[in-house]
Amino acid sequence: MAYNEAIMDHFSKPRNVGEIEDPDGVGEVGNPVCGDMMKFTIKVKDDRLDDVKFLTFGCGAAIAVSSKVSEMAKGKTLDEAMQITNKDVAEALGGLPGNKMHCSNLGADALHKAIEDYRERQK
């Protein structure tokens, strides 16, 4: 397989899989046509990500990215979490294969959408 160990680790033992019941925010990106689809649900407490869970339909990279983002985001303040970029995630995973950088590296986007959804709801 063309993936490194960090990716294989997250792919085979993904962290924070699932859907939070009664989430404070929901973010969805992608669709099956392009091959990857992610749904993040979050719980917020004191402006911090108290819980982050994801559902992902997608390739090995997409699953690893989702898992890594959830791990990176959990416990962070919303502002901190909003600063996680897709690039950060790829780097934290030791790099994604070149051809996967664009299509599968959507985890931060999904997370940000969930945070934005939460903030919308607060208005």
Partner 1 sequence: MRAINLDYGAATPVDPAVLQAMEPFFAEHYGNPTSVHDLGERPRLALAEAREKVAGLLGAGPEEIIFTSSASEANNMVLKGFAAAHRSKGKHIISSVIDHFSVLNPLRTLEKEGFTVTLLPVDHHGLVDPEQLLQAITGETILISIQAANPEIGTLQPLAQLTAVAREKGIPFHTDATAAVGFVPLNVQETGVDLLTLAGDQFYGPKGSAALCMRRGTRLLPLLEGGIQEKGRRAGTENVPAIVGLGMAADLAREMLAERSSRLSILRDSLQKNLFAAVPHLHLNGHPHLRLPHNLHISVEFVEGEALLMHLNMAGIYVSSGSTCTSQALKSSHVLQAVGLIPELAQGSLLFTLGTGSEAQDAPYVAEQLSRIAAQLRRMSPLYQKYLKEGDR
34 among known catalytic residues: yes
Nearer to partner 1, 16 or 24 (CB): 16
| Active-site option among 31, 34, 35, 87 | 34
Longest dimension (CA), the chain: 46
Determine phi and psi for 57, rounding to 5 degrees.
Answer: -110, 115
Residue 69 sits in the site that holds partner 1 (CB under 8 A): no
Minimum distance from CB of 28 to partner 1 (Å)? 7
Tokens coding 96: 């994604």
Instruction: Give the x-and-dash track for 81-100 against partner 1 (CB under 8 A).
Output: ------------------xx
Of 23, 25, 27, 58, the one binding partner 1 (CB under 8 A) is: 58
User: For residue 9, which of 72, 84, 57, 68 has the smallest C-alpha distance?
Assistant: 68
User: For residue 41, which of 75, 17, 13 has the smallest C-alpha distance?
Assistant: 17
Active-site residues: which are they?
Answer: 34, 103
